A and B are shown apart, each in its own frame.
Chain A
């Protein structure tokens, strides 16, 4: 059943919606429109003259090999971070849901990383893994690993992935734990009496009932990897070495802010926006169907 409030005054509903609409328009639609407009312009290096060029910025972008590199990096990075942070969080949540001694402390500690700002998280991980100063970096060298995220692109990618996963696990953990706790205990007991062992119970009862949570988290995680990991990358690798950790959002920043190519940067952000819109639409259209609410 649907509940509807009925307003007698015609303007009242709009007045009530206004604050939310205003925020959305000022902070979302306006900048987005600006980006679209900007992507059709080319400015000279000093910002004196501006020319309207239609799709020239886009043409240049797609003829640039570095852009395809950033696309590939983003694809790998987002897959790695989403898969790892979701699966690790699920394992931790399942364990925390059991009757452990000290479960409360365990849960609290798991939630803390979420309160750490991305850039700070990046710096912390850099401190630990810095090849000549970091504790873990030095240990790796002591054990004979030639670890150097400044020079080795694989190492750099691993480091930012680890930091991004670590930061996102808390959030996923919280939602998975809440999801697990909302499953009635009698369902699990009924399944146990019905002859399902604990593994089978998990895959046939618990996991399907968690699927709405998992679906929501998948969407949120992809958006997180696309945008919010900027702070980590900027603090740890600055997109290097040799562009190995330059994701799409980092390239928007480095081309626009550092490279001064505002039009090209705007074109990139428009494409990025379209990719995220498309991904979210695909998720809702195809994955949501298999989700049982």
Chain B
């Protein structure tokens, strides 16, 4: 078992194209690290650099205390699960899982034991003689996992392994991956663009954007304390409401209580998560709260909660409110909502960085 350490890692492609820059983080032994970001943010490139499939042009990557910059993928003691599973189509499920062990000259009885063990864990026993073509998407996904676990590597690498599955199966496999990783205790690095997958799987979340790290931390810490506008907008669904505040023009119409916010001269963005806005029950004292008036254009009741969509002060930015239980509002009417001051976020409009309140 081993941790993974990245020390100011960068990648420049021919033609001076920077894919990733200045990436440093440490995944502790047995940790589950998720790299998340929009497509093109460099997360897959970074994972492939850890695997040894891409060269490292700057910095150092170590696995288990050994610098692996110049080490071939086969000698890094890692296993990778690919987005398209990359199963060998001409081999049976058994041979797919045994391939890596055979290459390493593991004795056949040992291979049989390990494959049987993996097949039992992944419930693949009835399919060992089949070809990948004869399996469903979920079963192929399991074979890809099985191929990784029979090797007992120091590190698992996952490259968007669930993105080819339908939504229901994805949810199910997500839980299975998490359980399996806990059970085996193998250090894992997982790449996804799906923030829900990222939030639920990670012990440690690395949010990336344009080849750089935006923020690193535990998923809920990031949810509650986003360091930048990007993280605030990327983590959480529906996304955080963003209201531009300019000092010159004053507070936009429809907000009460925002005058005392420390807005810098260049402007700020006020962020409020949809679940932190609540229907105004008509309290007279505003106290430590902001009051927002929305011109409602849609109400969605989904049972356990109700979503209100509307424009701030009738012409301002569009906001979403998630209210627990059932609320009512007639479309086109004006409704007031309140938000607790301790639950709002403020960001510098120019740098995008968080302003502590």
Give A contacts to B, CB under 8 Å: 184, 186-187, 189-197, 200, 204-205, 208-209, 292
CB-CB under 8 A from A200, the residues of chain B are 103
Is A194 within 8 A of B90, CB to CB?
A: no
Is B74 within 8 A of A194, CB to CB?
A: yes
- B196 at the A/B interface (Cβ < 8 Å)? no
Is B99 within 8 A of A292, CB to CB?
A: no
**Chain B 33-89 interface residues, beta-carbon cutoff 8 Å to A:** 51-53, 72-74, 78-80, 82-84, 86, 88-89
Is B99 within 8 A of A189, CB to CB?
A: no
Is A187 within 8 A of B86, CB to CB?
A: yes
CB-CB under 8 A from B236, the residues of chain A are none
Is B74 within 8 A of A196, CB to CB?
A: yes
Question: Which A-B residue pairs are the 7 nearest by beta carbons?
Answer: A194-B100, A195-B103, A190-B86, A186-B86, A292-B90, A195-B74, A208-B90
Residue of A nearest to B103 (CB): A195
A194, B149: Cα distance in complex, Å: 12
Is B104 within 8 A of A195, CB to CB?
A: yes
Most buried by A among B73, B78, B86: B86
Give me 20 other A-B pairs in contact (C-beta within 8 A), A192-B74, A195-B100, A292-B90 excluded.
A184-B84, A186-B86, A189-B51, A189-B86, A190-B86, A190-B88, A191-B88, A191-B99, A192-B53, A192-B72, A193-B73, A193-B100, A194-B99, A194-B100, A194-B103, A195-B103, A196-B74, A200-B103, A204-B99, A208-B90
Is B73 within 8 A of A192, CB to CB?
A: yes
Q: List 28 A-B contacts (CB under 8 A).
A: A184-B84, A184-B86, A186-B84, A186-B86, A187-B86, A187-B88, A189-B73, A189-B82, A189-B86, A190-B82, A191-B88, A191-B99, A192-B53, A192-B73, A192-B74, A193-B52, A193-B73, A193-B74, A194-B100, A195-B74, A195-B100, A195-B104, A196-B74, A196-B99, A197-B74, A204-B99, A208-B90, A292-B90
CB-CB under 8 A from A192, the residues of chain B are 53, 72-74
Most buried by A among B78, B84, B103, B104: B103
A12, B99: Cα distance in complex, Å: 53
A209, B151: Cα distance in complex, Å: 24
A205, B87: Cα distance in complex, Å: 11
A208, B95: Cα distance in complex, Å: 14
A187, B89: Cα distance in complex, Å: 9
A192, B72: Cα distance in complex, Å: 9
A189, B100: Cα distance in complex, Å: 12
Is B99 within 8 A of A193, CB to CB?
A: no
A192, B79: Cα distance in complex, Å: 10
CB-CB under 8 A from A197, the residues of chain B are 74
A191, B89: Cα distance in complex, Å: 12
- B147 at the A/B interface (Cβ < 8 Å)? yes
A194, B73: Cα distance in complex, Å: 8
How far, in Å, is A19 (CB) from chain B's closest CB? 36
A200, B73: Cα distance in complex, Å: 15
A288, B74: Cα distance in complex, Å: 34
How far, in Å, is B53 (CB) from chain A's closest CB? 5
CB-CB under 8 A from B104, the residues of chain A are 195
CB-CB under 8 A from A209, the residues of chain B are 89-90
How far, in Å, is A150 (CB) from chain B's closest CB? 49
How far, in Å, is A68 (CB) from chain B's closest CB? 41
A140, B169: Cα distance in complex, Å: 70
A202, B346: Cα distance in complex, Å: 57
Of A187, A189, A194, A196, the contact of B53 (CB 8 Å cutoff): A189
A197, B103: Cα distance in complex, Å: 9
Is A196 within 8 A of B103, CB to CB?
A: yes
How far, in Å, is A20 (CB) from chain B's closest CB? 32
Residue of A nearest to B105 (CB): A195
A193, B157: Cα distance in complex, Å: 11
Is B82 within 8 A of A186, CB to CB?
A: yes
CB-CB under 8 A from B99, the residues of chain A are 191, 194, 196, 204
Is B73 within 8 A of A205, CB to CB?
A: no
CB-CB under 8 A from A196, the residues of chain B are 74, 99, 103
Residue of A nearest to B72 (CB): A192
Residue-wise interface mask of B (124-164) relative to A, using a CB-CB cutoff of 8 A (1 in contact, 0 not): 00000000000000000000000100010000000000000
A200, B102: Cα distance in complex, Å: 11
A46, B131: Cα distance in complex, Å: 66
How far, in Å, is A177 (CB) from chain B's closest CB? 20
A197, B74: Cα distance in complex, Å: 8
A280, B224: Cα distance in complex, Å: 71
CB-CB under 8 A from B84, the residues of chain A are 184, 186
A191, B100: Cα distance in complex, Å: 8
Residue-wise interface mask of B (193-218) relative to A, using a CB-CB cutoff of 8 A (1 in contact, 0 not): 00000000000000000000000000
A187, B53: Cα distance in complex, Å: 12
How far, in Å, is B68 (CB) from chain A's closest CB? 13
CB-CB under 8 A from B151, the residues of chain A are 194
CB-CB under 8 A from A190, the residues of chain B are 80, 82, 86, 88, 147
Residue of A nearest to B48 (CB): A189
CB-CB under 8 A from B79, the residues of chain A are 193
Residue of B nearest to A196 (CB): B103
CB-CB under 8 A from B103, the residues of chain A are 194-196, 200
Known contacts A184-B84, A200-B103, A204-B99; decide if A193 and B90 are in contact (CB<8 Å): no
CB-CB under 8 A from A292, the residues of chain B are 89-90
How far, in Å, is B78 (CB) from chain A's closest CB? 7
A204, B98: Cα distance in complex, Å: 13
A194, B81: Cα distance in complex, Å: 11
How far, in Å, is B17 (CB) from chain A's closest CB? 16
A187, B79: Cα distance in complex, Å: 13
A46, B34: Cα distance in complex, Å: 90
A152, B74: Cα distance in complex, Å: 54
Is A193 within 8 A of B80, CB to CB?
A: yes
CB-CB under 8 A from A193, the residues of chain B are 51-53, 73-74, 78-80, 100
Is A205 within 8 A of B51, CB to CB?
A: no
